[in-house]
Each structure stands twice: as C-alpha cells, then as structure tokens.
Structure 1
Amino acid sequence: MLDERSSTLLKLITSSRTATFKELTQQMSCTRRQIVYDLAKINQWLNSQGLPLIANQRARGLTADTAVREFVLRSPPQVKFSTYLLSKEERVFCIIIQLFVRDEHISLFHFTSRFKTSRNTALADIQRANQYAGSFQVAVVYTRGKGYHLAGEERNKRSLVMKCISRLLHQVNGMRILERVLADKQKESVFPARFACACSALKEAEDALQLVYVEEKVNAIAVFLAILFSRGDERQHVDFSQEEQMLLRQTREFDAAKLLIARCGQDDDELEVCYIALLLLSISLKRSDYQIDSKHMQMLYQLILAVVEEFELLACVAFADRKKVIETLFLHMKPAYYRIVFQIPITNPFLQQIKTEHFDLFTLVKKAWERFEHVVGIPLPEDEIAYLTLHFGALLEAQGGLHIRRKQAIIICPNGVGTSNMLKEQIEKLVPEISITAAISLREFQEEHETQCDLIFSTVFIQTEKPVIVVNPILSSLDKATILREVYTIVHGKSRVAPSVQDIMQTVKRFAVVADEDGLRSALTTALTGSMAENIRRYKPVLKELLTEDMIQLHERVKDWEEAITLASQPLIGIHAIEARYVEAMIQNIRRLGPYIVLTPRVAVPHARPEDGVKKVGISLLKLSEEVAFSEESDRRANLIFVLAAIDSETHLRALGQLTELISETDNVDKLIAAKQKEEILQMVEHYSRQ
C-alpha cells in the first residue's frame, strides 16, 4: 500500500511518456531526494504486484512499462492515509471548521489529541487560526464556560469557514482531511452521507434553474452545506436588510433554495432560505442563458461595457468580437457580482502563478476594473481579479489567426470557464496540429463516455483508454515543453531527439560561471519550447528595453496636441518602428473619438492599430514642462505623452503593464514631470521594469 505522495508520483509518471526528476520536483513541490525515496517505495510495490519497475533512462528520464500503465489504469493503488500528518496551514483550517461545528466544550487537550501535537504546537496553531480569522473580523477566543469558540458576526463566520473549505479542497488530501476532522465523536463519520445529500440537492437545483455550474465550485458549496446543516446550538442565522431580502426573493434561486433546504431535511426559515439562495447565485457558471433579468444585472452589464472599453484603452487593443467579450465576462461576473457584494469568498489556487506568469495582464485588468469597484463600493479580491485575467487572456489569445486542424482533442478542467478557455487557446497555439474541440468538466466527461477525440488534455487524473496528457491549468514554460514532447510522441509515434535542458546547463557551466541557475534553466526551457513550437509565442520586452534614452525627449512646450503627438513620434520613426501614416492615424482617431488617450491626469498614451503603419513594437516619451490640452476639459491635459506602437494584441502587454504601474502613482507622475535629465526618468523606468 502506498502513501498519498507516492501514489501521486506514480500517477504523474504513468500519465506521461517520460518524466524527468526536474519536472517531478516542480510538479510535486518536493526535493529530488524525496522523489528518489518515493520511487523506491513505488518500485517495491510494483515488484510485489509482479510488474516491471520504473526505469530511469539516461537522456530520457523516468519511464513506465505499458503493463504498468494499464495496471494502474485498471486498479489504482490503495492509499494509506492514517499516518498522514497535517501541515500547519491544514491544522489552522481544521481548527476553524471544528470550532464552527462544535456542540461541546473544546479545550486545548482536544487539539493536542486530535492533531497529535504538543501543547506548545497546539497553542501556536490556535494563535495562527486567530490571526487568519481576524482578516474576516472573526476571533478565536477562550472562556471557561464555552471553551474555545468563534466570536463575530454569523455572516463573517460563514465566509471564514467557506474560505477554509475552499483552501482545503485544493489540497491533494482535502476531502479526506475534512472527513477526518468531522468524524470527531463518531467512529464512522456522517459527513460523507450529508455531503452526498447536498450534492444531490444542488444537482436538482441546477436542473430546476436550467444552469450548468462549475464542478469545482459545486463541491465546495456542497461541503459547506453538509457542515452548516450539522451545526448544533452554535447555528445562527445571517441577517439581511429588507432591501436585500426583497432582491433575493425576486430571483429563481430563492425558490430553488426552498427545495434544497427541504431536500436536506432542514427547517424552512426565511433568512436561511435567503442565504442559500445567495449561495446558489454565487456559484460560478459554466453555461447559462444570456439574461439581463433585473436592474442590478442591467447595471452590471453597463459596467462590463465600460470596463471593456477601459481595458481596450489601457491595453491599446481593440477586440474584434465585442459581443463575445461581453457575453463571456457577463457569464463570469453574474455570480461574481453576488460574491463580491455579499462578501462570499473563493480561492483561486492559481493566484500566485497568474501574477507571476501574466503579471502584465493582471496589472492591466486590475486597473480596468477600478471603475467597477468605484460603483459597487467594494474592492475586488485578488482571487477574482486573477480569474478575470484568465478571461481577458483567453479573449486576447483568440484574436490570433487561423490554426492548422488535424488531430482532435478535448480539455477536461473542473476549474471554470476562464481557466478552460485560457488553456484551450494556449494549447492550440503551442501545437497547431491539434484541434481542441471542447473544454468540459470531469462530470461531463464521465456522463459522455464515448466522447470522440484522439487525445485528452486534463488538469486532473482520469481513467480512460484514450491518450492523456496531464497539465497544470496555468501553463509554465516547463508545462509547454512537456506538452510538445508528449504530443510529438503521440502524433508521430516516437520521441523527439533534442538536447535536454540539463545537458545544455552542464555544457554552459564548463565554460562559464552561472550566477542564476534557476533563471538560466527557465530561459533554456522557454527557448527550447519556442524552437519546437516555431516561436509561436513572441518574446515580450520589458519597459526599459523599449523606452531607452534615445526614445525620450524633454521640451518646454508645444503649440497644440497635434504637434505634441507628431513630435513625440519622431524617435519611433527614426528607428523605423512606425511609418509617418501611423502619426496621422493617431491624430485622426483623437479627432473622431475624442481625447480618450489621456488615461490619467497629465498622462496621454496615443496609439493606433498595428495595420496603420507599425513595423515593430516600441514606446517613446515626450515630456513637456507646460501641459498641452487635448480638449477643453481640465482633466484632459497632459505633460507626458507616451506613444505606443503595438504589432499585435500581446507583445507589448508586459511593457505596457509596467508603464501602467509607473503612471498609476501620482508621486511618480510628479517626479517624471519634474525631471530635468533623461537619467532621472530612466532610473524610474529601470525600477518598474523589474516588476
């Protein structure tokens, strides 16, 4: 019997044609020594089953015999969980959930015995739990009469617990941890039965509302309902204002919530029905009718229109299919609106990866949605912004040209529409010989056993006789290299012979001192991926690579805005980045559309379309001591004119994101205008180019 980590490692190895130690350490977030240790356990288990061992072949990596793949597919190894020790983070989540459902006096001994920790460790865990709860205006407190318990408003307690559930479910052992922690008094936990009942009730609600929820979000809500309905005396109701109750009663979800509560054997309390209706409204949708069915949704629709326009101005792009953009964002924002307004938390497990891999786009999306925040009066959580970043990324990727269609593939991804679409666009660009015919959830795949496809890309492990490539929802350079290698093997029936990153690293180190091995390894992986994919993803320059000393001009004044744009464009004309007709196109755009290029007070970013005379990507700056007016309005004047030349909808985004960060701070704008020397400006450009 294997433990959880060894079982996961075996799944990774058998789901790929080959797997290197470097890939596995990154995917498993563990050391090479741990991989070697787990591999020994796997081979011991394989030997006990009379199966060939995992082989480590030089220049290829770890490979599993076909017999092993077929056996693991038919009979996955049983996993030993009883010896699993919770991490610090997992213990914090479990403490909060236990305090939420408690119906007895809970002391320190309860935690030391439950988690098999020392008294000091338990006290430290409780302190961490209190700190985490504090961000939801909830406290973990102790009194002699009640023992340890949660103090705060009921709505905040529920938001806190939903966040803990969401975080746990993104752990490999999340559901099993929940089963263990909720089996406190009974040897046989009643949680699985309650969870199954909640899932069934949610499916009935989904059918009644004629919607298709995102599978991952349904599971989180089902777990929460199973926990909520198991509470004893601690259970209270969430207060709603009369206006909020009226809003919720007018929705179809209110009637569905009544049926759900009855299905789960709960009392039909009006406030609890309102809360369950709110949960149903907040679940992310995979498919829905395109309806604007209330004044709030009409307001949301208008806000989305405004945000899309703002994004186009900030990113210097124009969406070819505006209707598709609006429909995609409205589908996502309809439940997100209720989550944001009523502060129902979600967890985006890819937040940090999105901020790292797509920092430029994340910055522009965050800036564009400030208008929404201003109207609603509530800031967007970064988890929500990250999901919106995926949507905008997929929409930008879709602006590309035609793809060669050959082998057909599907994507199985339970993480939502934005993630699925982003993954689809990236894979189709990476391997043009593959046509992605659908992006479906695991549940949809299980219901449609005879799906017609040649290949499956999946973000979760699945059992199927089709060739499967397991990928991360957000593709890194390493993921792209793996996809290319796997697809080549599947399509052509043989491995592609190419030098490995490690071979190149060893060669480089023979002749040079490598200051940043991880950076070089990542760059080499990206370079090899790019050559294999015929450079389908262009290099995105940083701000300092475009806004160089030669691209900056310092002047006292100009006679009008037309002269400002003409003068600001000269450095780009000088390096043949743009033609003269591009300048005229920018001027005509402003005459026709107004001074939209003034993105923030005292800063203008004029631009036109790539086909208007752009030869290569570039940015130039004209700094004026005296502001120039782009209209009679006082806020449409500028001292800083940044001319942008974009060759497509993507290549300039990294530099533009850094520029947006730079000019978003009023102090930075003041310093740029006050600069007497180009060097002062270049120092600021250098700083923001590191973002």
Structure 2
Amino acid sequence: MLDSKFVTTVTLLLTHSTLSIAEFAIEQQVTKKQAWYEIEQLNKRLAALSLPRVTIKEGHISVPATLKTDWTTIQAQELLLDGEERIHMVILYTYLRQEWVSNAHYQQLLNMSKNSVVLALKRVKSSLSVFDLTLKYSRKEGYVISGPEHDIRRCIDASLNSLRKSPHAGQLLDLIFARWQLPDDKQALREFVMSLAAKYDVRFVNERFEHVIQLLLFIKHGEQQHELVYSPQQLQYIQSVTMQQMAEEVATYLGLTNDRSGNVIFVTAQLLSSLQGKQGLVQEKAFLVLTEAIINEVQRYTLNSFEASQTLIDSLYEHLVPCYFRLLFGTPLHNPYVKTIQDEYTDLYELVKKGLRPLEEAVKQPLTADEIAYFTIHFGGQLQLPTETKSIRALAVCPNGVSSSLIMVYQLRLLFPNITFQPVHSVSEVADLAAGTFDLIFSTVHFVTTQPLYVIKPILNPVEKEMLKKQLRHDFNWQPAQAAVNVSDVMSVVQRYASVKDEQALFKALSDLMNLKRQDQGGINLHELVTTDFIQQTEQQLTWQEAIKQAAQPLLVNDYISDGYIEAMITMVEDVGPYIVIAPHVAIPHARPESGSKKLGMSLLQLKHPVDFDLRHEGDDDYQVQLVFVLSAVDSESHLTALKQLSNILEDEETIAELVVAPTIEAIYSIIKTKGSVDND
C-alpha cells in the first residue's frame, strides 16, 4: 500500500540524487538520528515491494538508477488514501454518480469497512457545509450532493484543487472515472481547446488550464440539478468579451448547450480565469486603468518606484485580467505557495494587500490570501537587485503564469547573481530558441532537451536552494561570485567541535545567511529608525519645499543622506505630484537610493501649522500636512518592515490626530513605539 508520506519521500530522493543525510533530515523535519531511522524504515518498505534499497555513502544518500523505472511501475498498484484524500474522493465520486449510490459503493472506492465509511461521511458532510451543501440519502436516489448549482460547482472546483496536492492525484481521478466506466477524454478535450486557442489567438496559464480541463470534464459527466443564475454585473461583462464565442464552441463540444443551463457563461468564466497575455479579448481600457491604479497604490505603500514600468504594467495586466474574472464569478484559486509567501515576504505581503484595494472595490469583495500571495510575488519579482558581471546564460521556464515566473527568476537571481536569466512561459518557446543562445535551463516542468535541465519549484526552501547550488557546482562547474561555502560542510565542521541542540534550526539559519536572505526584508522596526534624535517639532509656517528640507535635517546631519537626496525628493514631487501624501495630513517624501541615500533611516517633522501639499489645487483638506516622514531607503526591501508598521499607524485617524497634537518629542516617540509594534490585520 502506497501512502502519501512514502510516495513523497521516494519522490524527494529520486528528484535530488546528491542529497546528504543532513539535508534529508531538514527536508523531513527530523533530527539526523531520526533521519537514519527514516531511511531504514524506507528500505524495509522498498524491500517489501521488491524495489532496490537506497544506501548511504560518506554522509550522502545514494539512489540506485533502477529505482526510478521500477517506481513508475509500482505506483500503478493500490494506493492508501489519507483522510483529506478520502473526503475529496467521496465528493467527486458522488458528483459523477451514474446510478444509485450506497455505503457499499464507498466501501469499494475507499477500501474501508462499513463503519469506517460512516465516520468518513461525517467529515464529508462537514466539508460540504462550508459551501452550504448537504449530503442527502434516500432509498430512491441513494447519496446525493444537494444545494445551489453554483455552490456545487465551487465545491467540485475546490475538491479538484485539493486533490491536486496529492502525489498520486492523477491516479485517483482516473480511478473515479474508471469506477463509473466513464471515458478518459482529457487529451481529446485538451487538444480541441488548444486548437480553438490557436484559432482565437489566445494563450492560457498552463497549470490553471489543466485544472479547467479537468473541471469541465466533471461538469460534462456530472448531474446538473439546477439552472445557473448570474448577476447583472456578471452578465454585462460576459457579453462584452469575445471569449464567449470560443466558449460556445467548447460548450457544444461538451454537450452543455442547453440555453437555460447557463453553462456557456460558466465555460466563458472558466476560460477567462485561465488567460495569459494581453490579447484583446476584454475591454482593455478599464483594466489598464485598474492596473495603473494598483501599481500606484503599491508604490505608495512600499515607497518603491519599480523599474521597467511598461514591463510591469504589461505583466501585471496579464495577471489582473484572469484574476478579475475569478473574483467576479467566484472561481476559487488554489495557491500552493501561499504560506511560504506569507512567511518569506511577510512585510511585502501586508503592503501589497493594502495596495490592492482598487481591485477589491472593483469586484466589491475582499481578495483571498491565495490571490494576494500571487500579487505579492508579482511585485516581489520586480524588486531591484544588485548587478554583477554575467558569465553564464540560462532560461527560466515556468508555464504556471507570469507571477510564478517572476518570483522564480527573482529567487534564481538572488542565488546566482552572475548568471543571466531569460524568462520563458512555455516549453514550446524553448524549441524556438537557438541552442547557442543559452547554456542551461531551470524549469518547473520536465521536458526533453539537449541542454542541462534543472527542475525546480517556483519557490524554494533553504534546503532546496542549497541543493540546487550544489548541483550546479557538481554538474556545471559553477562558482559563485564570492568563495563557495557549502552549508552541509559548515554543519559538519560545527558538529565536529560543538554540541548542536537543534540541527534543523541551525541548517535553516546558515542557509538563510548564505543565500543573503534578510529576515522579514530587513526586520528593522519603525521605532528603531524614528528615534527621538530623528524627531523634530516646529511652529514655523513653511512651504512644502521648506518642510521637506527641514524634516530631512536629522538624516543629513547624521550622514544618512546627501544634499542631493533632498533636492531629488523635491524634484520628484514637482514632477509626479503630491503622491507622497499617503494618508490624511501625512506625507512621506523619498527618492531613489542612487540619488544620495547612504544608510537606511527615517526622520519625522511635526508641524504646528499645516503645510499645503495641494499642488494640483484639488481643494482636498487631506493635503494640508502636519506630519512629514522622510525615508532614506538604500534598496527595495530593507525598509518594508518599518513601512508596514507605519502604514498600520496611518490607517487609524485617531492615531494620526494623537501624533499631530503630541506636545513633546518623547510623546511622539511613545506613540510610534506603542502603536507601531502592533500589526493590524
């Protein structure tokens, strides 16, 4: 019986052929001693399946070449499902019911006893209740999923997404179709839709496209209980896009053309949610305005002026359009990296979340963490990195969408600053490139190529980063710009001369350090930057230019900035306008690091008399500023923690009022320290 943990462990060893026992321990979240035991138990399982054993030589795990071939064969055997897999198997199996369904059907499907099935069905009912659905039983119909059609389809969508996380997802879905003797026509549907994509000149995000193909097959063979009802706003947008013509052809192919069913609109929404690229299938002007509004808001909160602005607009547009339709039609998105993104990019995630308010207002609903995380990696991938001389050329192939591609390339550039990366969004594009134009390939999917290929995830953990660097040193004779230091080697030296209480924590800390990762993008708190020495009060009546100069004085005197930085801030306001007023009565002037920023710092000037920043004469009282924070940022990231804390303060009008009337510098600092240390979610 193949359970998920066993399958995942074997897959890990087959993927990383040079894994050390220390790296295996970190990946499995066990101690080194426990790792040896894990390998011993793994070998017992392999032997029971007549598979070759793995061995350990000089601290590294050696995997027999024959295991990969034999493993592919053995995976076709019976699988042992975990609790979550059982829930989604029952939901999907019941939805596809072709006849009366009883407890006996579930016993056969799950290989469980009658009483065990009864317990499993309680968990199924609990999962269905999240979607306002019920699992009903009658002698006439057996088990049936009951509820509004939209909710049923949202549930099926979510179950397919959840089951995709299983290492044997494909086999489980094939099993459901086989039990109902339904044809496996995924490939035929895929080819038909791709032929239409060529006809209508559209491209899809590969990962999302594959999910939609699977979902449409379930809709084709499932029982539609009720008509799909859409809101006037949903109908208005569907009627304005040419994608509906393509959707009608897909719906006809699937036999879903009942005019009253609403299936053509459903198919249209699914295709729109999978689009990649700026393809003229939607009303571009409104989305371009929304794209620029989001960029402006994110820049306002992060105080970053993103490079290659047109590139950013185009790529964000490509991500925004399908996202908009997912939100508009309630199509759930599963982001497998959401927790990793929230942990790795904590501050940027919170600031981007605030910057996405124009989108939330447009769709009249809050964004999910899954969607916010994708926007976070989109903007994270645009952050500037130090430049170095490039000596190696690499392709970065990620068919899973623009955002995943951006963050993948961003991570690779951090790991390998002396390698030039060219993003590629589909495997077919690689064939169009001359082999002599690149030296190696990083990809999220495997494909046949004559060049060295490294298959990676879009977001790598510290162990995976270290293993990738080790692979390049071994296979490609790559050397980093600085002297190469291997984390495993450092661990060995430390263990030789010291007692290590927590090997996992030490390995992760060393990996973070050697990958030049700043914890929480710098981790410097607001109150550590805006100390009493950097706070001023004035009763003078100043112009906005004088206010900026006065507010910047502590930074200038303490050699955090040059005179040129102050002039650059004033010039930027003159060129762009009062965008620095990010909250009522609060301005945060800043300039690019290269304009004269020497150290990360922030100062504050409290003004008794408001300063007029209403350069466009809009008559808005918010531009009467009494708090001027000056930021000296040395890069795109190190100020994000402090900025997130400041943005939380500035969302509370009462706190702003307290800062405006605080009588002393010490009182101002106390408010900043107290309120800035609390994260407002």
TM-score, structure 2 normalization: 0.85
What is the deviation of 1:589?
3.4
Letter in 2 for 1:475: L
Query: Residues 473-526 of structure 1, C-alpha deviation per residue, up to 9 Å, x if partnerless?
Result: 11333333222222222232899664635335536854xx96x76544322212
Alignment partner of 1:549 out of 525, 531, 537: 531
State the distance in 2 between where 1:220 and 1:15 align. 24
What residue is the counterpart of 1:239 in the other structure?
A: 229
SS at 2:179 equivalent: coil
Residue 36 in structure 1 maps to residue 39 in structure 2: yes
Alignment partner of 1:468 out of 453, 459, 463: 453
Percent identity over the alignment is: 27
What is the deviation of 1:303?
1.0
SS at 2:286 equivalent: helix
What residue is the counterpart of 1:21 in the other structure?
A: 21
Cα distance change, pair 467–587 in 1 and its aligned pair in 2 (3 A): closer
What is the deviation of 1:341?
0.9
Residue 171 in structure 1 maps to residue 166 in structure 2: yes
SS at 2:394 equivalent: strand
Cα distance change, pair 652–478 in 1 and its aligned pair in 2 (3 A): farther
SS at 2:421 equivalent: strand
Alignment of 1:200-349 (within 5 A): 200-232=191-223, 234-240=224-230, 244-245=234-235, 247-267=237-257, 269=259, 271-285=262-276, 287-289=277-279, 291=280, 294=282, 296-349=283-336
Alignment partner of 1:682 out of 644, 663, 673: 673
SS at 1:171 equivalent: coil
State the distance in 2 between where 1:429 and 1:360 align. 19
* Contact 1:201–1:264 under 8 Å retained in 2: no
Alignment of 1:213-612 (within 5 A): 213-232=204-223, 234-240=224-230, 244-245=234-235, 247-267=237-257, 269=259, 271-285=262-276, 287-289=277-279, 291=280, 294=282, 296-396=283-383, 399-400=384-385, 402-441=387-426, 453-460=438-445, 466-492=451-477, 498=486, 500=488, 501-503=490-492, 506=495, 509-510=498-499, 518-530=504-516, 540-544=522-526, 546-553=528-535, 555=537, 557-560=539-542, 561-612=544-595
Letter in 2 for 1:281: L
Cα distance change, pair 647–371 in 1 and its aligned pair in 2 (3 A): same
What residue is the counterpart of 1:664 in the other structure?
A: 651
State the distance in 2 between where 1:41 and 1:441 align. 40
Letter in 1 for 2:192: A
State the distance in 2 between where 1:178 and 1:543 align. 49
What is the deviation of 1:451?
9.5
SS at 1:635 equivalent: helix
State the distance in 2 between where 1:103 and 1:8 align. 33
What residue is the counterpart of 1:80 in the other structure?
A: 75
What residue is the counterpart of 1:62 in the other structure?
A: 61
What is the deviation of 1:461?
5.1
State the distance in 2 between where 1:55 and 1:429 align. 32
Indicate the larger mover: 325-334 or 478-487. 478-487
* Contact 1:106–1:146 under 8 Å retained in 2: yes
Cα distance change, pair 190–146 in 1 and its aligned pair in 2 (3 A): closer
* Contact 1:257–1:276 under 8 Å retained in 2: yes
State the distance in 2 between where 1:110 and 1:136 align. 24
State the distance in 2 between where 1:668 and 1:95 align. 52
What is the deviation of 1:605?
1.7
Q: Structure 2: state its 5+ residue gaps.
A: none
Over the aligned positions, Cα root-mean-square deviation in angstroms equals 3.8
State the distance in 1 between where 2:403 and 2:507 align. 29
What residue is the counterpart of 2:110 in the other structure?
A: 115
SS at 2:457 equivalent: coil
State the distance in 1 between where 2:625 and 2:506 align. 41
* Contact 1:543–1:654 under 8 Å retained in 2: yes
Indicate the larger mover: 407-416 or 4-13. 4-13
Alignment partner of 1:91 out of 64, 86, 95: 86
* Contact 1:403–1:429 under 8 Å retained in 2: no
State the distance in 1 between where 2:232 and 2:361 align. 24
State the distance in 1 between where 2:332 and 2:390 align. 40
What is the deviation of 1:427?
1.2
Cα distance change, pair 161–551 in 1 and its aligned pair in 2 (3 A): farther
* Contact 1:133–1:140 under 8 Å retained in 2: yes
What residue is the counterpart of 2:95 in the other structure?
A: 100
Cα distance change, pair 73–83 in 1 and its aligned pair in 2 (3 A): closer
State the distance in 2 between where 1:382 and 1:7 align. 29
What is the deviation of 1:28?
5.7
Query: Residues 398-447 of structure 1, C-alpha deviation per residue, up to 9 Å, x if partnerless?
Result: x4465534333333434222111221232134213433344344576699
* Contact 2:134–2:145 under 8 Å retained in 1: yes
* Contact 1:213–1:284 under 8 Å retained in 2: yes
State the distance in 2 between where 1:394 and 1:348 align. 17
SS at 1:379 equivalent: coil
State the distance in 2 between where 1:367 and 1:309 align. 12
Cα distance change, pair 215–148 in 1 and its aligned pair in 2 (3 A): same
Letter in 1 for 2:495: Q
SS at 1:435 equivalent: strand
Letter in 2 for 1:55: I
* Contact 2:149–2:228 under 8 Å retained in 1: yes
State the distance in 2 between where 1:153 and 1:307 align. 34
State the distance in 2 between where 1:567 and 1:518 align. 49
SS at 1:55 equivalent: strand
State the distance in 2 between where 1:608 and 1:13 align. 48
Letter in 1 for 2:581: V
State the distance in 1 between where 2:68 and 2:109 align. 35
What residue is the counterpart of 1:190 in the other structure?
A: 182
Query: Residues 539-568 of structure 1, C-alpha deviation per residue, up to 9 Å, x if partnerless?
Result: 724224742534552647552355543443
Cα distance change, pair 21–473 in 1 and its aligned pair in 2 (3 A): farther
State the distance in 1 between where 2:652 and 2:333 align. 29
* Contact 1:6–1:38 under 8 Å retained in 2: no
SS at 1:559 equivalent: coil
Letter in 2 for 1:547: L
Cα distance change, pair 266–155 in 1 and its aligned pair in 2 (3 A): closer
Indicate the larger mover: 671-680 or 584-593. 671-680
State the distance in 1 between where 2:449 and 2:11 align. 13
What is the deviation of 1:220?
0.6
